[in-house]
């Protein structure tokens, strides 16, 4: 694959002053690599309306609404795998990871539905920050084999596009997410705080993170101690005040 187009784009992206300009260049790069569809979203969470998180996208006709109507965000293995991944991954890697999951059959049906809509293969590239998982660039269409070098380039592309578009469309959130915080939380503690802010109970958080209830309670206690919070609701309030949540 010709990676020069990505490198060139990364060198000039900060000079682009409109969301449309960034998206136009991004889409031209994806086409060169053989990806017809993509989605750039903020922090995918299982209970979120996926449409409300989109920064930029081009999906098969009818797929976003079908995805929402079928509530696929609750079981999408490529989204759930983001909680485990530190690097970009092929969708094929995510599916086997949930063979023991009680929703395995529904996941299989969802992936078959995606293929029927033209999403035969693809990749997800998570974007992380001080607060943990912040967003993701998902690309797909016909099956494409990316090399190790391609994967590295796409990881850099995902981060650059995410931050630039977020800065252009929501400067305050960009500033909040990129600013330094005094409290240092582990990845698991940050994930627990994010899900807690989304209204999940300890049992639900344990299910999403595939941990025991006891382990989640341990993370919650550590979280409250670090934030000097009286309870979990207080921890969420402090999280918003410190910019850990937005």
User: 113 and 224 share a domain?
Assistant: no
Query: In this predicted structure, what is the pLDDT of residue 100?
Result: 93
**Nearest residue to 194 via CA among 128, 126, 244:** 244
User: 172 and 192 share a domain?
Assistant: no
For 95, residues 6+ apart whose C-beta sits below 8 A from its C-beta are: 77, 107, 108, 111
Measured between alpha carbons, how far is 22 from 3 in angstroms, rounded to an integer? Answer: 18
Query: In this predicted structure, what is the pLDDT of residue 179?
Result: 64
Measured between alpha carbons, how far is 191 from 123 in angstroms, rounded to an integer? Answer: 22
Query: In this predicted structure, what is the pLDDT of residue 132?
Result: 74
Measured between alpha carbons, how far is 211 from 224 in angstroms, rounded to an integer? Answer: 19
Query: In this predicted structure, what is the pLDDT of residue 32?
Result: 96
Measured between alpha carbons, how far is 244 from 194 in angstroms, rounded to an integer? Answer: 9
User: 221 and 144 share a domain?
Assistant: no
CATH number, domain at 199?
1.10.10.10
**Cross-strand partners of 39:** 57, 138
User: 77 near 57, Cβ under 8 Å?
Assistant: no
In tens, the pLDDT along 136-188 reads 999 999 999 999 999 999 999 999 999 999 999 988 888 877 765 567 788 88
Query: In this predicted structure, what is the pLDDT of residue 226?
Result: 86
- Stretches where the chain sits below pLDDT 50 are 1
Any idea what DSSP says for residue 84?
T
Measured between alpha carbons, how far is 156 from 150 in angstroms, rounded to an integer? Answer: 10
First to last CA, the chain: 37
Measured between alpha carbons, how far is 57 from 37 in angstroms, rounded to an integer? Answer: 7
Q: Which domain holds residue 167?
A: 4-177
Count structural domains, the chain.
2
Alpha-helical (H) ranges within the chain are 4-12, 19-32, 63-69, 77-80, 91-94, 104-116, 148-169, 171-178, 187-197, 202-209, 213-227, 232-242
CATH number, domain at 151?
3.30.450.80
| Placement of tokens 């079908």 in the chain | 66
User: 17 and 117 share a domain?
Assistant: yes
């Amino acid at each position: 694959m010709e990676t020069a187009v990505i490198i060139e784009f990364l060198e000039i992206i900060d000079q682009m002053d409109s969301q449309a300009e960034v998206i136009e260049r991004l889409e031209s790069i994806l086409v060169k690599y053989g990806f017809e569809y993509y989605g750039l979203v903020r922090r995918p969470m299982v209970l979120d309306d996926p449409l409300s998180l989109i920064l930029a996208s081009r999906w098969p006709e009818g797929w976003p609404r079908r995805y929402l109507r079928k509530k696929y965000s609750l079981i999408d293995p490529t989204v759930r795998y983001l909680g485990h991944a530190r690097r970009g991954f092929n969708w094929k890697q995510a599916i086997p990871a949930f063979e023991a999951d009680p929703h395995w059959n529904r996941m299989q049906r969802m992936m078959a539905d995606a293929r029927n809509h033209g999403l035969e293969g693809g990749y997800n590239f998570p974007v992380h920050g001080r607060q943990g998982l912040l967003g993701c660039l998902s690309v797909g269409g016909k099956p494409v084999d990316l090399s190790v070098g391609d994967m590295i380039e796409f990881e850099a592309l995902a981060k650059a596009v995410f931050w630039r578009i977020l800065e252009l469309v929501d400067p305050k959130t960009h500033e909040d997410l990129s600013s330094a915080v005094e409290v240092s939380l582990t990845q698991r503690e940050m994930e627990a705080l994010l899900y807690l802010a989304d209204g999940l109970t300890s049992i639900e958080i344990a299910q999403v993170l595939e941990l025991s209830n006891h382990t989640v309670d341990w993370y919650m206690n550590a979280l409250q101690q670090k934030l000097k919070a009286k309870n979990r609701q207080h921890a969420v309030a402090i999280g918003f005040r410190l910019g850990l949540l937005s």
